[in-house]
Chains A and B, each alone.
Chain A
Amino acid sequence: MVDIAFGPEPGKRPDATAPGAAYLAATRRKRLYGGLLLVFFVATMASGFLVAQDRNAGGFIEGLHRLDDFPAEVLSEAWEKRANLPGLMWSYTGSLVETVNIALVSTLLGVLGAAFLSLLMTRGLARWPRLIPALRRVTDALRAIPEIVIALVLIYILGGGPIPAMIAITIHTMGVLGKLFSEVAENADLKPVEGLASVGATWGQRMWFGVIPQVAPNWLSYALLRFEINVRASAILGFVGAGGIGYELKIAMQWGGGRYDQVVAIFLLLFLTIAVIDRVSDQWRHRLVKGN
């Protein structure tokens, strides 16, 4: 009886006093790492600032006052022509729709790709378990390349327009969501999947009936969040020639004085759209995660 009570390997039993001490030690170590990280961070910031100060033609500090010169100029001009703003905003809705469309299509495609990728690289679910490490690296790579780099390369190859932006955002979305989706899928209950396997269901059927219903709320919530981010990304990519409202903004800004009312109209439009999308998707996500 005594043997059983103390387990088969008496030597391995943890010291009764140890847990507290070990916990304190771990806390101290964590605090030390935190401190080191802070020092490192401050040092990097300082050195980065010095480098910037060195390289900047006019010097960072001297240029600082100009930071509000430009917005002041833009705003004062826009204020003079404020009567134009509603009309201008209306005239840019076409480009705005293009920007939102790019985000929408690439989010959809990215979600589809990420869903496949994530199931294929989740242990216990994967169709070909041996491919898991390779697929994880691929996903890491997709995520690691910034959208703007992919877009620039594609614009160079394919020329400007919405297609390069769409591909670029899709690729990045697949990488980001693939990882997040897989983390959700890892926590899925495997019992239903096994039940479906026992009746002779195909891999696709097992995933569709056994896994998707479990992960759908969380996946959808991540997808909505990504859509918000992709609207911004799509606007920014317009700047490098991918069309949409970002492109209009660039043209208006490059023109300089005389078109600042357009700049303000575009900013207002973009700001309003993103605010609306954020609010709607926020509420929706809240409902999804709470309501399951």
Chain B
Amino acid sequence: MLLDVRNVSRLFGTKAAVDEVSFSVARSGFVGVIGRSGAGKSTFLRMMNRLTDATSGEILFEGRDILALTGAEKRDWQSQCAMIFQQFNLVPRMDVVSNVLHGTLAHRSTLASMFGFWPDDDVLKALAILDRLGIAEQASKRAEALSGGQQQRVAIARALMQDPKVILADEPIASLDPMNAQVVMDTLRRIHDEDNRMVIANLHTLDTARRYCDRVIGMRDGRIVFDGTPDQLTTGVARDIYGADASFSESATSTSIDALPSRGDDAYAREMLA
């Protein structure tokens, strides 16, 4: 078993943000987590990356309980388990390459990294990753000067720089326009397919989950209420997950280009993406 999540809970005060969650993943896949806002999706991913401590439970990755790690071991796990955020969480005043190089910090001494001595190999690797993601020409710009979609790709580049076994993505496209959203999701899917890294992505839209995921987990009020393949994700099931009333419509949770009314935009997007 690659990943085994056992009865993981997180309380904030007396309220359980994540409530006795269990599931397992046998081998690397593209897993989507859906659910309405407040369902506990972010809290779960943050516990996996150890940004937030769990209240109880175990997460076994390759047989080791990563919730029990501390100090250097915890940071080593974080380096194997990259995280991508909705707001990109780059250092805005630093250039793109530096931001990508931050992916290696867990394995660099504090002092050496503070003086900005990055090994040449790492710099070249960072540039190669930027090239792979199609943003090599932005390499020397400050991160804050880039568009949202470009910043998110820099964040993905930082994640790849970590050479992680798992990539966690917390609503990676929620702040992007449909075109950039598609570029970012395509990129995530590509690094799963090409590198065989496991991806767990919180997604706020059904159609994205259907299109990109091998497996979808639905959360509601901290619990898992659905676990299956994208085909099993019918409108009825979605209604249960989102707890929506009869007026629930899929396009309300959609950011896809296809769901937009204008065909002209669609053609333009395809042209840009080609």
> How many interface residues does A have (CB within 8 Å)?
19
Measured CA separation A199–B114 after assembly (Å): 16
Is there an interface contact between B93 and A214, defined as CB atoms closer than 8 Å?
A: yes
Choose one: A191, A209, A213; the contact of B102 (CB below 8 Å). A209
Is there an interface contact between B78 and A199, defined as CB atoms closer than 8 Å?
A: yes
Is there an interface contact between A200 and B75, defined as CB atoms closer than 8 Å?
A: yes
Is there an interface contact between B105 and A200, defined as CB atoms closer than 8 Å?
A: yes
Interface centre among A198, A202, A210 (most CB of B within 10 A): A198
Chain A's nearest CB lies how many Å from the CB of B166?
12
Decide: A198 near B83, CB < 8 A? Known: A204-B110, A205-B114: yes
Q: Does B158 make an interface contact (CB < 8 A)? A: yes
B110 neighbours in A (Cβ, 8 Å): 202, 204-205, 208
B49 neighbours in A (Cβ, 8 Å): 198
Decide: A198 near B89, CB < 8 A? Known: A205-B105, A209-B94, A209-B102: yes
In the complex, which residue of chain B has the Cβ closest to the Cβ of A203? B110
Chain B's nearest CB lies how many Å from the CB of A206?
9
Choose one: A191, A199, A213; the contact of B105 (CB below 8 Å). A199
Q: Does A197 make an interface contact (CB < 8 A)? A: yes
Measured CA separation A184–B85 after assembly (Å): 25
Chain B's nearest CB lies how many Å from the CB of A195?
3
B85 neighbours in A (Cβ, 8 Å): 191, 194-195, 198
Which residues of chain A (142-169) have a CB below 8 Å from chain B? none
Is there an interface contact between B51 and A199, defined as CB atoms closer than 8 Å?
A: no
A50 neighbours in B (Cβ, 8 Å): none
Is there an interface contact between A196 and B94, defined as CB atoms closer than 8 Å?
A: no
Measured CA separation A196–B89 after assembly (Å): 8
Measured CA separation A209–B93 after assembly (Å): 10
Choose one: B74, B75, B93, B155; the contact of A195 (CB below 8 Å). B155
A 153-192 binary contact with B (CB < 8 Å = 1; else 0): 0000000000000000000000000000000000001011
- Can you offer 6 A-B residue contacts whose CB atoms are under 8 A? A195-B89, A195-B102, A195-B158, A200-B162, A202-B75, A202-B105
